[in-house]
Structure formats: C-alpha cells, structure tokens
Amino acid sequence: MVLRQPKLPVSLAGHVSGFVASLQALGVPWRSALGRAKLPDEPTDPLAQWPTQNLLSFLDDMARRAALPELGVMVGQSDHSGAVHPALAEAVQRSPSLYAALQAVCQCTHLQGSHVRIWTCASQDVLLLRHLGSVPAGYPGAALGEHFRVVRLIRMIRRFLGHDWQPEWLWLAAAEAPPASLRRFVGGCAIRGGQPCGVIPIPLRLVACPMPTVANGLSLAMGGSAPPADAQGDWLQRLRAVLESYLPGGGLTIEEIAEMAGMTPRTLQRQLADRGTTWRGLVDEVRFSSARQLLQGADELTMDEVAQATGYSDASNFARAFRRLCGRSPAQYRADQLPVR
C-alpha cells in the first residue's frame, strides 16, 4: 500500500513581517488578525516556516478589514527584505546576467518554502517566466500573494533591464480582476487572469543583460539600497580589470590573484563574500562581460578567437559556459545584436 503524502505548503515568516511592517506604517492593527489566522504572535524569525494557507488567510483578513485590496502590490513595492531568503538574494546579487539571475531564482525557490513553483521556458523569441502557488488560486488571499510575487519578480527583472521596463502582457492564475495599482505598475499592459499559471514574458534578446553597477562597482538586486563605498577606492572594480587583462592567457588562479592583492586566498574569498560575490561568480562575470563586448564588436571574430580571448580552452567550452549564463548560444546572441532591417 502506497501512502499519499500529505500536503502542507509552508512559507517564510519573513513574508508576514513585510506585510506587518506596511500595516504598522499605515496605523492598521494587525495582531488580532494573526490570532484569527492561527499564526504565531509575531514573526520574530524571518527564516521560520509558517503554514501558507494560514498566512494567506491573514492577508485576506487584513485586506478586507482595512479595505486594502491592493495590499499585495503595495507590499511588493516596498523594500522590506525579509521576504527573500538571504541565500537567494546572494545568488541573484552575484549573477552576471538576467538569465543567470532567473535560473538562480528557479533553483533557489525552495528556500522560500513549498508554497510556489517558478520555472522558465523559451517560446520563439520570448523567455517565459512561469510561477504557480501550491495553494489553489481561488483560496482567500491567494490573489494577494500572487500580486506580491509578480511585483517582486518584475522588480528583480528591472534591476537588469531598467526601471522603465514593462512586459508586453501578463498572465495570472487568479481569476479576479487585478487591482488598478498592479496595472499601473506593469505599465498598463494586457493582463489575463484565470490562467493555468502566472507568466511574465521577457524578450530573449534581453536576457543576456548584465546588472548595472553602482558607483563602487557593486550590483544591486532584490530591492534595498547601495552598500557603503569602499574606503580603499573601488577595489572590486580594480580586481575585475586585472582579471580581464589576464583572460587571453587563460586567466589567473585564486592563489595568483590573492598574491597580487597581498592576501591569502581565504582572505580574498572573505573579501569577495563581503561584497556579495564569490571567486567563481567574479570570474564568470568578467568572462561573460568580455565575451559580450567581443560578440557585439564590429570585428567579426570567430568563436575560437572569442573563446581564447576570454580564457576558455576551446569554442565548445566557451559556448557551454556562455549558454549557462545567457540562455543563448554565442551565435544566437551575436545575431540578436544585429540591427533590424
């Protein structure tokens, strides 16, 4: 006899803390609603796991009592970081391209709990970012949760494509009409509800975009503000420049660059971690950035020449690495850059 596994969707308690912070800022009482939803008194540990259905009941209760049908969109636009697991935020932070960041989100979604699935698939010239909650779309509060999720995902995409980017259309699993604030947030694009899953379409020609850097060379992701400037100057940018200079010769090992920087490899790794990246992530970023520039250049370099210039042993290794970070082959990426005639 095979026992059926019981379903118990769970979510990070940090999701609740973001909503609580917004409700508190509005002066809306929320403590009694936690009790009505049979949730703990207060989300003190953002990494704790709480039952998703109870959490959604809390959101529905608060939205109805406070007359806030746009609660999910409002909290999604806030910079509260508790709703994102630190490991997921770090994975996105060190992603050298939008495609790599999307893959990190898909691979690390389980850290957020078991309440949602996120995956991608390509359709012609569009990458479809799909998402689906484990609680039925008609469950009270599920639409609020989906609105929050959509806003957070689009905010992450805009970190790479710019704050003005908007999808051409949007699918939602929730059948009810989306709030006006969500329509404004996505630029008034067509939104279709009651679909098998939520979908955010991203043109494939854009998925190779790197994250813009702030003044001190560090990238921003998943909301929040810039870290403080490096008192020693732009150390990370200088490190990138050195690594790029050595790429045609096969690149540097971590031991070699650590010696140049006057520190041990372990100290170097700690310095990189403090700046939101890793040795592997930094090398991938430098190689990918250099490859993009060469593929966009006016000189038609062969793939073997681009591979050698970016420190790969041959064109096949280069193509595999480029596709892992970009979702497109180098040849497809080069074709995407050609002007439309």
Q: Is residue 215 part of a domain?
A: no
Residue 145, domain extent: 86-206
Q: Say whether both 201 and 247 belong to one domain.
A: no
Q: Is residue 225 part of a domain?
A: no
- Say which CATH number the domain at 251 has: 1.10.10.60
Q: Is residue 217 part of a domain?
A: no
pLDDT at site 263: 86
Q: Say whether both 191 and 115 belong to one domain.
A: yes
Q: Is residue 192 part of a domain?
A: yes
Q: Say whether both 269 and 291 belong to one domain.
A: yes
Q: Say whether both 90 and 65 belong to one domain.
A: no
Q: Is residue 56 part of a domain?
A: yes
- pLDDT digits 0-9 by tens, 208-217: 998 875 433 3
**Structural domain count, the chain:** 3
pTM (2 d.p.): 0.81
Q: Say whether both 327 and 254 belong to one domain.
A: yes
Which among 42, 76, 110 is the end of a domain? 76
Q: Say whether both 97 and 53 belong to one domain.
A: no
pLDDT at site 43: 66
Q: Say whether both 123 and 167 belong to one domain.
A: yes
Mean pLDDT in residue range 93-122: 92
Q: Say whether both 276 and 201 belong to one domain.
A: no
What interhelical angle do 98-108 and 142-161 show, nearest 10?
Answer: 150
Q: Is residue 172 part of a domain?
A: yes
Q: Is residue 327 part of a domain?
A: yes
> Between 6 and 195, where is the model more confident?
195
Which among 168, 190, 206 is the end of a domain? 206
Sorting pLDDT into bands at 50, 70 and 90, what band is 337?
confident
- pLDDT digits 0-9 by tens, 109-167: 989 888 899 999 998 899 999 999 999 999 999 999 999 999 999 999 999 999 999 99
CB atoms within 10 A of CB 155: 17
Q: Say whether both 195 and 242 belong to one domain.
A: no
Q: Is residue 148 part of a domain?
A: yes
On the question of pLDDT at 203 being above 90, the answer is yes
- pLDDT digits 0-9 by tens, 12-45: 888 888 899 899 999 999 999 999 999 887 767 8
pLDDT at site 121: 94
Q: Say whether both 95 and 134 belong to one domain.
A: yes
